[in-house]
Copies of this chain bind each other. A is one copy, B any other.
Amino acid sequence: MRIPRANSREKILAAAADVAREAGPGSLSLDAVASRAGVSKGGLLYNFPTKAKLMQGLVESYLSDFQKALEARAIEAGHEGVLSAYIKLSADDCERPKPSASWMFSAIAEDPDFLTPIKAFKRQLFERLKGETDDLGSLLVCFLAIEGMRSMNLFDSDVLSEDERRLLVSSLLKIAG
């Protein structure tokens, strides 16, 4: 019954994200992921020898997806600059009602150091944005506001209404110029 040559890694990663989102970050167990992915626990452990490796895989795929999406937007936006691309990308990400990265809480519970690559990525992005503008103050406000928007989405927070979010995004785009 086993399908040969299936790309199990991606299937497992997606399953892990699904489990964390739907059952809560505290319920991200290997058993749950395996059954969700349609894979035995042994098979899961074959692809990711430890839970830590699974988390690491989640972080890496998150980061590479993000980078790819950002690059695509940056090309698409062209002269408007990377900051605008980042704003729009984040706005779209936050449009989705359900947070797609609840697994991050599981990763933090496992070991807070899993966030290190994400922090490094953000710092790198910030440096890149710094080279694009001469008003550091505005950039900081913009960058942090996006961060706030993303964190609210992560926490599944409905503090802002849709209208408010739209207004926020347009205000940010105005600041970004």
Which A residues have a C-beta under 8 Å from some C-beta of B? 24-26, 102, 105-106, 108-112, 115, 119, 122-123, 126, 136-138, 140-152, 155-160, 164, 167-168, 170-172, 174-175
Contact = CB atoms under 8 A, between A and B. Distances in A.
Given A24-B112, A25-B112, A146-B148, A168 B140 contact: yes
B175 A115 contact: no
A141 to B, nearest CB: 5
B105 A171 contact: no
Contact of A168 (B26, B108, B144, B151): B144
A94 to B, nearest CB: 11
Given A24-B111, A115-B157, A136-B167, 15 more contacts: A24-B109, A25-B109, A115-B155, A122-B157, A122-B159, A138-B171, A140-B145, A140-B167, A141-B141, A141-B145, A144-B144, A144-B145, A145-B145, A148-B149, A151-B151
Contacts of A174: 137
A155 to B, nearest CB: 6
A114 to B, nearest CB: 11
